[in-house]
Amino acid sequence: MAKVVTFGEVMLRLSTPGYLRFSQARQFDATFGGGEANVAVSLANYGVDAQFVTRLPKNDIADMCVSELRGLGVGTDGIVYGGERIGIYYLETGAVARGSKVVYDRAHSAVSEIQPGMVDWHKVLQGADWFHWTGITPALSQGAADACLEAIKVANEMGVKVSCDLNYRKKLWKYGKSASEVMPSLVEGCDLILGNEEDAEKEFGIKPEGFDAEKTGGEIDQSRFESVCRQLMERFPRCKKVAVTLRGSINANHNTWGGVLYDGKTLWQSRRYDITHIVDRVGGGDSFMGGLLYGLLSYDTDQQAIEFAAAASALKHTIIGDYNRVSVAEVEALMNGGGSGRVSR
């Protein structure tokens, strides 16, 4: 069984019921989520040995979070404890022309105060095939960025492949450094990079010419993103593959979705999905990453890997919560032409 280790922040997610605005809500639905934890849950669903590493306080809310992760099959032995609080994010789900909103309450969270040396990375990464991180973690604090770099260097030394989801979050970079200053030294150690057009532009100044995500009308020429992939590989020579998620936004409930995977020679393009009634798009990119890692570990071709990633993340849009609670069989059914939504009896 393949082993994948992910590292980052998991948060308490408080979302308004249905499509209520924050100003209307008198209660919130509570669950947990976070980029790297979401990837670990996807992989555990697919039968991969998925281990999640973070730093959490010792309190009942953190215990509840760990219990949920374990119940979903995620290994938590690498979690370290300390600090005073778990981060929180509030979600208001948008509809039609009104986009969703996220409000963060994660300052001084336990993982934002992590420092190098707190995690025994040689122990955690023993026997691992992949180490995965996202651009969210180094955005939290200098300590989190340094701990992430420490993990990447150990993974490189141990021969563990490293993947990164660039995940640019402008609301998080508040400790005096920008993403363009911090991210290059971390991405230099990656074998696989995932991003979208905004991530690559905001962090490295790389973008497809003439593309505006707000003006796609749902129609995207996926082949135009080969230049983005090529530029990323030229900037980061260690990288063997680059993937780009491509979302066409018609409105908050109706998107088109797909992705590409580039290996330096060939641009593999997934089927594009017309998602007409989005239930919850939060975690969509993470479900793509989880699907891509599984696909690369399990299939013979890059085409199969990118198709699995796109199908998995298309299904995620139908599931409430950060976690993509789907099986390999369900994803493969959609890959192979399913998707009618008929009752399974």
**Strand spans (E) along the chain:** 3-7, 11-15, 29-33, 49-53, 55-56, 80-81, 88-92, 101-105, 130-134, 161-165, 192-195, 241-251, 254-262, 267-269, 273-275
Tell how strand 3-7 and strand 130-134 pair up.
Answer: parallel
Residues 239, 308: Cα–Cα separation, whole Å = 21
| Sign for the pseudo-dihedral over CA of 63, 7, 100, 341 | negative
Burial degree of 339 (CB within 10 A; 0-12, 13-18, 19+): middle
Long-range contacts of 63-71, Cβ-Cβ distance < 8 Å, separation of 24 or more: 64/32, 65/10, 65/12, 65/32, 68/31, 68/32, 69/10, 69/32, 69/37, 69/40, 69/41
State the CB neighbour count (10 A cutoff) for residue 328.
15
Q: What is the dihedral of CA 45, 49, 54, 56, to 10 degrees?
A: 70
129 tagged catalytic:
no
Out of 286, 300, 302, 322, which one is annotated catalytic? 286
User: Helices 179-187 & 142-158, crossing angle to 10 degrees?
Assistant: 20
- The number of CA neighbours under 13 Å toward the Cβ of 57 is 16
Residues 144, 208: Cα–Cα separation, whole Å = 31
Burial degree of 90 (CB within 10 A; 0-12, 13-18, 19+): middle
Structure tokens at 314: 């298309």
Which residues contact residue 58 at a Cβ distance below 8 angstroms, ignoring those fewer than 6 apart? Answer: 81, 82
Residue positions annotated with a catalytic role: 286
